[in-house]
Amino acid sequence: MSNSPAVTAPKSLGSPGPKGRRISDKPNLGKPGGTNSGNANDGAGVHWVRSLGWKVVAIAIVLLIWQLASLSPLMDAGSLPGPFAVVGALIRLWGTAVYWVAIATTVKVWFIGLAICSVVGIPLGLAIGVSRGATRSTRWVIDFFRTIPTIALLPLVLLLFGPSISMELTLIILSAVWPLVIQSMYAVGQVEPVLKWVVKVFRISWLDRMRYLWAPSVTLLVTTGMRLAATIALLMTVSAEYIGGAHGLGEQLSHSENTFQRADVFAYALTAGLLGLAINLVILFLQRRMLWWHPITRGARA
């Protein structure tokens, strides 16, 4: 910077101030500045316990209805395993290696698939989003690939790769990459125009623009795309296993079904559900962690 000292360099700006936290320091995650008073916290605590109580009651009611249905004379005896039978099956499965290997396999394939989707989809989406010409040119193509049910390719991919990880990954990538591409494209448009002027006016370096303007600005939509992609990737993983016969939860599901172990079928379905829930919660947690400053996380009404 070539400031003329005659006009600028005022004395007060040269005076030493207290050592502030630097931009390079990690911002403290979580909510900065305690604004909640102790009383407010107590009130929230009581409310929290009460709402947890109601949640437990709701789950108990659902289980009770399920148990009654399984015992009802309308059902053929044993055709609907009750919650006790399913929990029993689940506990028995927890003691088997097959169960854990199945989960691990499914999670591994899901994760690899999602990782590839992110590495490909996010940069691609951002690159397309930056250019108006690219956005217009690809609109139709992306719209088309996004809406076609990729599962339709399963027979072809099965012929090509057999019931393997490659088969699963092909299906996962072809279906889960689109939400990431699309959300990343939108994300570019969400960068505050005034801030784009600010970085120009203050001549902020290219690298700093990336770190302090672009990265935080696109996080919300990119992570939203990530959540969608994660859900779709899990659906495709389990589908490919269930129909295509690759190893994992879906295969066990199909196996239990074919051997008429109904309680196991329910136990595996429940496992898949819990896995889906866990994935959702983890991504939501990470998203909130990264977006602690965002009005959505702060609970402010925009």
Partner 1 sequence: MKTLKNLAWELWLPIVLVIIWLVLSAGSSSFYFPPLADIMHDFGKVWFFNGIVQDLLPSLGRILLGFVIALLVGIIGGILLGLLRRIEEALRPVLELLRSTPGVALLPIATLFLGLGQEMKVFMIALACSWPVLLNTIDGVRSVEPVLLQVARSYRLTLWQRIRFIYIPNASPQIFAGGRLALAIATVVMVVTEMIGSPGGVGYFVLSTQRNFDLLGMWTGIIMLGLLGYLLNLAFRLAENRILRWHHLKNA
Partner 2 sequence: MTDSLTSQKPTNPPAAVETLLAVKNLAKNYGKFEILGDITVDVRAGEFMCIVGPSGAGKTTLLQCLSGLLAPTAGNVALRGVEVTEPPAEMAIVFQDYSRSLMPWLSILDNVVLPLRSSKMSKDEMGNKATAALEEVGLKGHLHKYPWQLSGGMQQRVAIARALAFEPAVVLMDEPFASVDAQTRSDLEDLTLRVKEHLGITIVLVTHDIDEAVYLSDRVLVLGGRPTQVVDLIETNLGGHRDQISTKSTPEFAKLRARVYQEIRSQAAPGQP
Enumerate binding residues for partner 1 (CB under 8 A): 51, 54-55, 57-59, 62, 79-80, 133, 136-141, 143-144, 146-156, 158-160, 175, 231, 234-235, 237-239, 242-243, 249-250, 253-254, 256-257, 262, 265-266, 268-269, 272-274, 276-277, 279-280
Q: Cα torsion for 231, 232, 236, 239, to the nearest 10°? A: 60
List binders of partner 2 among 155-214 (CB under 8 A).
Answer: 192, 194-195, 197-198, 200-205, 208, 212-213
Cβ proximity to partner 1, 144 vs 202, nearer residue: 144
Instruction: Say which residues have a Cβ less than 8 Å from residue 221's Cβ, sequence separation at least 6.
Output: 183, 184, 186, 187, 190
Residue 9 interacts with partner 2 (CB under 8 A)? yes
Minimum Å gap between C-beta 25 and partner 2 is 9
Minimum Å gap between C-beta 156 and partner 1 is 6
How far apart, in Å, are the Cα atoms of 59 and each of 63, 88, 262, 282? 6, 18, 22, 22
The listed partner (partner 1, partner 2, none) that binds 55, CB under 5 to 8 Å by sort, is: partner 1
Site string for partner 2, 252-271 (x = CB under 8 A): --------------------
* CA–CA dist 132, 134 (Å, integer): 5
Q: What SS3 class is residue 126?
A: helix
Find out whether 209 and 201 touch, Cβ atoms under 8 Å: no
Residue 141 interacts with partner 2 (CB under 8 A)? no
Burial letters 38-55, b for 16+ CB under 10 A, else e: eeeeeeeeeeeeeeeeee
Residue ranges in contact with partner 2 by CB under 8 A: 1-4, 7-10, 12-24, 27, 32-33, 35, 192, 194-195, 197-198, 200-205, 208, 212-213, 216, 293-295, 298, 300
